Amino acid sequence: MNPLLVFLLFLKASSLSFGGLGGLPTLHQDLVSRGVSEDVFGQALAVARLSPGPNGLYMVSLGYEVGGLSGALAATAALIIPPFSILIILVWYLRVAHLRRTDNALLMLSMALAGLLGFTSWQIVRGSSTNVAEWAAGLLGFIATARFRLHPLVLIGGAAVAGIAIYH
């Protein structure tokens, strides 16, 4: 994929999101329609969970997958620019921080993001699961993260070993 297109698509997703994984639904919608598979998203998320830094760096991995090194660099540039909005938001927020409507808007936004991210990740699980073991892996990932907060390295390492043991 053309690095400029990678930059623009990733900048759009990053600019319209809050939080590390907030841009995932937008990127998923834009890239799947251009032929990128669910597996590529799964691989990028796995790499991001194993590497240091924020979870949002899955975009760098995804940029590499769709556009090589120049795609990764374009994705990095696209994810650095939107957080600069904090310098403007800091000034604006002091004027509206005390308003109840500000809290209400942020609450609704967090629920919407949870729904969007939940649906996108459901699509990744559904698109990559063809048997009971793979569905069970998806369920385990959900429960282990939501309930027990296990370290990703333990989960991903365990899944790798189990995958080799089952299929090889």
Partner 1 sequence: MGGLSFGGGTASQLLLRKELVWRNGWLDEREYQRLWQLSKLSLGINQIAQVIIFGRRFAGWRGIPVALCGFLLPSVTVTIGMTAVLVAVIGNRFVEDALRLIIPLTGGMTMGIALQMWGPELPSPSVRKWLWLLGQGCIVLICSLLVGVVRAPVPLVMASAILAGVILLPA
- Span 94-123, contacts to partner 1 by CB under 8 A: 99-101, 104-123
Is there binding between residue 80 and partner 1 (CB under 8 A)? Answer: yes
Q: Which is nearer to partner 1, 4 or 160 (CB)?
A: 160
Q: Which is nearer to partner 1, 8 or 123 (CB)?
A: 123
The one among 6, 9, 21, 36 contacting partner 1 by CB under 8 A = 21
Both tokens assigned to 105: 């808007």
Q: How far is the CB of 94 from partner 1 (least distance, A)?
A: 9
The one among 5, 8, 32, 125 contacting partner 1 by CB under 8 A = 125
Do 44 and 32 touch, CB atoms closer than 8 A? Answer: no
Residue count of the chain: 168
The one among 5, 8, 32, 156 contacting partner 1 by CB under 8 A = 156
Is there binding between residue 53 and partner 1 (CB under 8 A)? Answer: yes
Both tokens assigned to 113: 């993001």
Closest CA to 68 of 17, 3, 165, 144: 3
Is there binding between residue 56 and partner 1 (CB under 8 A)? Answer: yes
Is there binding between residue 84 and partner 1 (CB under 8 A)? Answer: yes
Q: What CA–CA distance (Å, rounded) separates 66 from 3?
A: 9
Do 36 and 24 touch, CB atoms closer than 8 A? Answer: no
The one among 23, 31, 36, 67 contacting partner 1 by CB under 8 A = 23
Is there binding between residue 70 and partner 1 (CB under 8 A)? Answer: no
127 CB-contact burial (10 Å; exposed 0-12 / middle 13-18 / buried 19+): middle
Count of other CB atoms within 10 angstroms of residue 133:
13
Closest CA to 45 of 163, 136, 159: 159
Q: Which is nearer to partner 1, 3 or 23 (CB)?
A: 23
Is there binding between residue 82 and partner 1 (CB under 8 A)? Answer: yes
Q: Which is nearer to partner 1, 34 or 54 (CB)?
A: 54
> 41 CB contacts (<8 Å, ≥6 apart)?
24, 28, 31, 62, 124
